[in-house]
A = this chain, B = another copy of it.
Amino acid sequence: MSNTLTHNAYGKSNVRLTKVTRHESGRHDLLEVSVDIELQGAFEKSYTHGDNSALVATDTMKNTVYALAKQHTFNCIEHFGQLLASHFVANNKQVAQATVRLSESPFERIEVNGQSHAHSFVGGGSERRTASVVVTRDRTTISSGIDGLLILKTTASAFEKFQRDRYTTLKETRDRIFATILQMEWTYGHATACPDYNAAHAKAREASLRVFATNFSDAVQQTLYQMGDEVLKTLPEVSQVTLTMPNKHRILANLAPFDLTNDNEIFVTTDEPFGLICGTVKRGGGS
């Protein structure tokens, strides 16, 4: 062999779990989550020599998801992710790092005659609550997030004074639709006592949506920064926030050929192409 394996990782993806917790009152809790597990460690011989003796089978990883879900009580995916990632590091000395990514599909109880039902739910939204847990021999890093959340404001969004060159045709505007599918992930700092991840998630969601809804936007970039900044201000236990915001364009329909005006009323909804704006905001250091 004349070439070198410089990086390797493997695992199981899209392990889908439904867990029903049955309370004595007759009320059921429902969790549906898709789990990805990835291990890094001393697995080179499987690659270079077909020697699988160090490999945890990905089928075993799948089984572990269901078995640990049964044996443990947890009230958030961050906790479940820690259980899983710690399990693989603790029980396999060849594993240097276990990463568990979780994507929860939210459900709400069906309302019947104004009361939330004990065991019947509505789901189906594109929004996901996410968590990412990385466990090594030395430390555990926990991130939480939101993915797939479509938000749209019909005004209070501008885009002006950008650079113009030979290929620029876009007009400046003080009033456009701003639609995005929010992906946001915040990472908890190490020194902090164990936070209430459910409360933190709700606060981060509320803070970012509030900024999106109420701040005037001079650019997607500006709104992205302000949303991340507000999450940091709201959650002292968070050290940084990364946001990805596609600009899902609604294009003003050209009604001039029909002698009709269009004062930002009628738009063509598009999926592609889309702008894609990214940024990471870290606590402190600003002025």
Contact = CB atoms under 8 A, between A and B. Distances in A.
Interface in A187-217: 209-210, 212-214, 217
B4 A281 contact: yes
A30 interface: yes
A237 interface: no
Contacts of A253: 66, 70
B155 A122 contact: no
A185 interface: no
B47 A225 contact: yes
A63 to B, nearest CB: 4
**Of listed A18, A156, A265, A269, residue having the most chain B CB within 10 A:** A18
A30 B267 CA distance: 11
A266 to B, nearest CB: 5
A91 interface: yes
Interface string A211-242: 01110011111101100110011000000101
Contacts of A53: 161-163
B126 A160 contact: no
Interface stretch (A6-14, A75-83, A137-145): A6-14
A221 B117 contact: no
A69 interface: yes
Interface of A: 1-22, 28, 30, 32, 34, 36, 38, 43, 46-60, 62-64, 66-67, 69-71, 91-92, 107, 110, 112-113, 117, 119-127, 148-156, 159-170, 177, 181, 209-210, 212-214, 217-222, 224-225, 228-229, 232-233, 240, 242, 246-247, 250, 253, 255, 257-258, 260, 262-287
